[in-house]
Amino acid sequence: MIGARELSLMKDSAILINTARGPVVDQQALVEALRAGRPERAAIDVTNVEPIDMNDELLSLPNVIIAPHIASASVATRLKMANMAVDNLIAGLSGEKLINCANSEIYDK
């Protein structure tokens, strides 16, 4: 979704943040863009290959922060995720619409 073209359209002062999925951003294009200074910085919690290879060029750049895919690893977040799963399970077993449904268009059929 985000490749060389999209990165080149960013402001020089932009910061790219990716906490979605690694392949959302073309990682090699990001390396080249960061070297060119557009975007200025990046903060990513996901990489195209996980765990990231310790020789990956991205790790050598001073303008990128990489977390090891742990953005949701807090007690509060994990508890909320577990509660959402339980609420969905109870609703589903009761024949009700799922409270947290990722594809709610299924109910339109």
Active site residues: 21, 50, 69
Per-residue pLDDT of the chain (109 residues; tens, 9 = 90+): 999 999 999 999 999 999 889 999 999 999 999 999 999 999 999 999 888 999 999 999 999 999 888 877 889 999 999 999 999 999 999 999 999 998 888 888 7
Indicate the number of domains in the chain. Answer: 2
Do residues 54 and 8 share a domain? yes
How high is the pLDDT of residue 95?
A: 94
Structure confidence at residue 68 (pLDDT): 84
Q: Does residue 83 share a domain with residue 58?
A: no
The pLDDT, as a whole number, for residue 96 is 94
Concatenating the DSSP letter of every residue in 19-74 gives -S-GGGB-HHHHHHHHHHTSSSEEEES--SSSSPPTT-GGGG-TTEEE--S-TT-S
Q: How many beta carbons lie within 10 A of that of residue 34, not counting itself?
A: 21
pLDDT for 102 equals 87
Q: Beta-carbon neighbour count of residue 3 at 10 Å?
A: 13
Question: Can you tell me the distance from the alpha carbon of 75 to that of 11, in angstroms, rounded to the nearest whole number?
Answer: 36
| Host domain of residue 41 | 4-66
d(CA 13, CA 15): 7
